[in-house]
Structure 1
């Protein structure tokens, strides 16, 4: 299978596919400056297409996409975000919004209210969210024992959980998952999707929802297999490289994906802001043991004087870069095979960090260039 639609000339489309803090009135000049000259990055496959980098003004709706028209079947658009930290920004329209945690900075009523008010107003039919290590108060037992480390007075858990799961959240189509599952359909006669969400990530300075390495296997073994997997932290060696030159993803999570016990269509996460990216991985065997995926973004090892993401040195780095490039090339070759099972792996972090956070000498805004929401179109 080829992807001729990738070679079509760019077309100008009206700004009808955005929503967010400026959904009623978009500042055209600001939008132009933010995304001017951006080179679209599209990752295609037989049953999934990822829009990683794009000009929001020219991103076409799902029904306008050539691959949807040519296929003739039903497709669903998922919009992936994460690590929004109480900031708001424009979000492309879609059927489903997935938020992979760090809704706030420190889990305060004020911070979570800002995020939830924003999410209430987004028009996506279904919005599925999880917490992250910054959402301190949502880790109820942890916060009960350590609130004084973070806040002068304890935050009101009842108010916070009402924000997440109360009537306004339900009316807005929001489902909050905390080591739980849900199912949904975007309309009559459409397929039912299953989702599992977990807020945990590997131990980091004793924040909320942290687990130590000796507890990882037990935790990940409890995850249910589902079409969509939301975790806050990444699997090992998949968009998990930090400014301090460490791979901090979870080995157990990577193992359960490679073994086939977990085999989602989308695995969306965040946590490592500087490693935002997406990769489509075609598995060797359906629901069986396969090579684990490896993927990092284009800023892997890039030096930036305005950040602590230092240039890596030595032959091992060049070897890794070559291996990652080979993985990408092989993935492109395998992604057109309709017989293969595949997972879209997404680090959807929107909080700019690392060398990608600087464009033309200026710091990128939340959800801005290099940190946009990642759009994933899946064939039902």
Structure 2
């Protein structure tokens, strides 16, 4: 057997992966990338938590969404690329680590966004680092995959052009919130358009369906971890005596995060096809699942501040800081999955319970009512889905 040259491990051709490869799972490098991403997510969630506690919820929510989009979009672009082209050579690993460095820079810059005069400098620099690395990766793919060359070049050119708009933030500072929202919205629309246009130039990139579903599931676990952290924070606030409200908060956090995990990892197929429109809707729609999942943790953290008298806002505000993201999570999961894969009453259950979750604080049920409604929604949805599954075992929903 001839030994491979050292150069072969440093720089291998970036050939497309087999989209039907058996036993394709997340790599250690991808898991490390997720670990870095969670630092940025935690930073954004902390900013939202403090904004709610300081009675600046509206501004805090918008800033949180802006910050989270940068984190999520960079994560998503890398995830779909790696699913199609990960060759694990040294250059690929180094470029991925450059992406991680950009993510850490974004995390460092997020606190500066949650100020009266937001400073976008570090976030834009970090995002630019991540996008430049992605451009290089797409150019490598264009060179080594002639079949998808127009698509890969479309990605590289599109990312470059939109990045110019992001860089304009640096030259226009200081920005008012109104101007920053308008520029951000324009840049987001253009970012979302890049994959939609590029994937239509030739054959779709050869991403692996089961691999993508696993990667999204792993990130969902990470964002739900923010709620577990908030529950732990509630228990740490005891100062010599048990505060029953903090106990209720911690227990409610557990019930809600377990329920959100359970309903996401149901038996139904998350993404049943490679069809471009369905894939884009599922992939993009997860922004609301991930954002709301992280926001639930911020809401619980704000509730702890309210209960321990570190915030002047009302307990009702804290309850809605939890209820609203929980409702968005359930409604988003219904939108991207259940309305496609479920039949009968299960098809609409999450949408109905999303509305009921919003009503719980208004009718005086409080945090415990939110937790109970969420758990009941998961139970009812899975009972209906299970009955449909047993009634037609040869036509499993989602297949």
Specify which structure has the higher proportion of strand: 1
Higher relative contact order (CA 8 A, sep 6+): 1
Relative to the length of structure 1, the TM-score reads 0.28
TM-score of the aligned structures, taking structure 2 as reference length: 0.27
**Bigger CA radius of gyration:** 2
